[in-house]
Amino acid sequence: MKNWNIANIPSQKGKTFLITGANSGTGYGVARALAQKGGNVIMAVRNLEKGKAARAGILKENPHAIIELMQLDLADLTSVEEFSKAFLSQYERLDVLINNAGIALPNERQETKQGFEAHFGTNHLGHFALTSKLLILLQNTKDSRIVTVASFVPKNNKSVINWDDLQNQTNFDGMTAYGESKLANIMFALELQERLINSNSTVLSLIANPGFTKSGIQDGMSVMIKIMTSLFAQSIEMGMLPILRAATDPTVKGGEFYGPLKMKEMRGYPELTHVPGPALIVKDRQKLWTLSEQMTQTSYNFK
C-alpha cells in the first residue's frame, strides 16, 4: 500500500498493547496513535517520572484514552522478571507486544545490571527475556503479534554477530555494538516466527525499522551524528509508521519486515523490505537463540 499512514489504521478498540520505551521518541508516538485509535495502551518505561509526564501529555490531548504506566528496566533481568509477573497478574490479554526500547551509546563501553555489554544486553537480551515471559498471554490472545523494532544500521553497516567477542570487550565501538544488537533483534524476530510456526501458534512475529528518525536516541552520540540528525532525520510522526503498520495492518504476515525505502532505508513511508543477509543464516539464528537462553536463564514454552 502506497503512503501507508495513521489514517489506514482500523479501530483498535478492545485490543491491549504493551510498548517498551514508550515515554519518548517513536515509542511515545506509537502509544499516542494507538490510544487515539481506541487501544488499551500500557507504557513500559524505565523512568517513571518521565513516563508520568508522557502519559499526562497523551491524556491532555485525549482525555478518554485508556493508557497505563508500568516500570521496566530492560538493562536489568530482575526488573524484567518482576515486570512480567506484575503484568500477567493484571492483564488477561495481550494483542500486541512492541519491543521498541533501545539505547545507542557513544564510544564508551557500558554494562547492564547482569554484566552484559549495554547494547546487546538492553536491545536484545532484555526483550528476548521479556517476550519469553509474556508469550503465554500472547498465545492465549487471538491474532496477537510481537513487533521487534530494528534499524537500517545492520544493512548499511553490514553488521555481523562477532561470536568470538559477543560482549564487545575488544576494540569497542559504539556504532558497531549498536548495529550488532539490532541485527540480533532481526535474527530473534525471524527465529521466533519459525518456532511459532513449528508449534502451530497463530502469534505473528514482525520487524519494523523506523528509519533515521529524530527520536532522542541520538542525544548521547557525537556532534557529527547530531548535525546529520538535524539535517537528514525524519520526524517522529514518520518514524513511528513502520511500527504501527507492523502492529495493526490486517494484511501483514509473520516474518515480514516493514520500514522506509528511501535514502538507504532512512526515510519514507513504511513498505515491505528485505532482511539483511546474516539474519537469513538459520544455524546462526539458532546459535544466537541458544546463547540468549543461556545468558538470560530463560526458556520459551511454545504450545
Give a yes or no: residue 265 inside a domain.
Answer: yes
Residue by residue, pLDDT tens for the chain (303 residues) are: 789 999 999 999 999 999 999 999 999 999 999 999 999 999 999 999 999 999 999 999 999 999 999 999 999 999 999 999 999 999 999 999 999 999 987 778 999 999 999 999 999 999 999 999 999 999 999 999 999 999 999 999 999 999 999 999 999 999 999 999 999 999 999 999 999 999 999 999 999 999 998 765 545 555 556 556 556 679 999 999 999 999 999 999 999 999 999 999 999 999 999 999 999 999 999 999 999 999 999 999 997
| Buried b / exposed e along 147-164 (16+ C-beta atoms within 10 A) | bbbbbbbbbebebebeee
What grid cell was written down for 270? 513504511
Predicted local confidence at residue 105, as pLDDT:
75
Give a yes or no: residue 82 inside a domain.
Answer: yes
Is pTM beyond 0.85 here?
yes
Predicted local confidence at residue 219, as pLDDT:
55
Predicted local confidence at residue 231, as pLDDT:
62
Give a yes or no: residue 154 inside a domain.
Answer: yes
Predicted local confidence at residue 213, as pLDDT:
87
Q: Is 258 a catalytic residue?
A: no
Sequence letter at residue 197: I
Predicted local confidence at residue 220, as pLDDT:
54
Catalytic residue among 178, 258, 269, 300: 178
Give a yes or no: residue 255 inside a domain.
Answer: yes
Give a yes or no: residue 279 inside a domain.
Answer: yes
Give a yes or no: residue 1 inside a domain.
Answer: no
Q: Cell 528485505 belongs to which residue?
A: 274
Predicted local confidence at residue 107, as pLDDT:
78
- Max intra-chain CA distance, the chain: 52
Rounded distance, CA 74 to CA 58, Å? 24
Predicted local confidence at residue 2, as pLDDT:
87
Range of the domain at 227: 13-296
Whether the Cβ atoms of residue 184 and residue 120 lie closer than 8 Å to each other: yes
Predicted local confidence at residue 303, as pLDDT:
73
Predicted local confidence at residue 290, as pLDDT:
98
Number of domains in the chain: 1
By C-alpha distance, which of 301, 295, 241 is closest to 116?
Answer: 295
CATH number at residue 276: 3.40.50.720
Whether the Cβ atoms of residue 31 and residue 41 lie closer than 8 Å to each other: yes
Three-state secondary structure readout of the chain = CCCCCHHHCCCCCCCEEEEECCCCHHHHHHHHHHHHCCCEEEEEECCHHHHHHHHHHHHHHCCCCEEEEEECCCCCHHHHHHHHHHHHHHCCCCCEEEECCCCCCCCCCCECCCCCEHHHHHHHHHHHHHHHHHHHHHHCCCCCEEEEECCCHHHHCCCCCCHHHCCCCCCCCHHHHHHHHHHHHHHHHHHHHHHHHHCCCCCEEEEECCCCECCCHHHHCCHHHHHHHHHHCECHHHHCHHHHHHHHCCCCCCCCEEECCHHHHCECCCEEECCCHHHHCHHHHHHHHHHHHHHHCCCCCCC
Give a yes or no: residue 202 inside a domain.
Answer: yes
Predicted local confidence at residue 33, as pLDDT:
98
Whether the Cβ atoms of residue 244 and residue 8 lie closer than 8 Å to each other: no
Predicted local confidence at residue 225, as pLDDT:
61
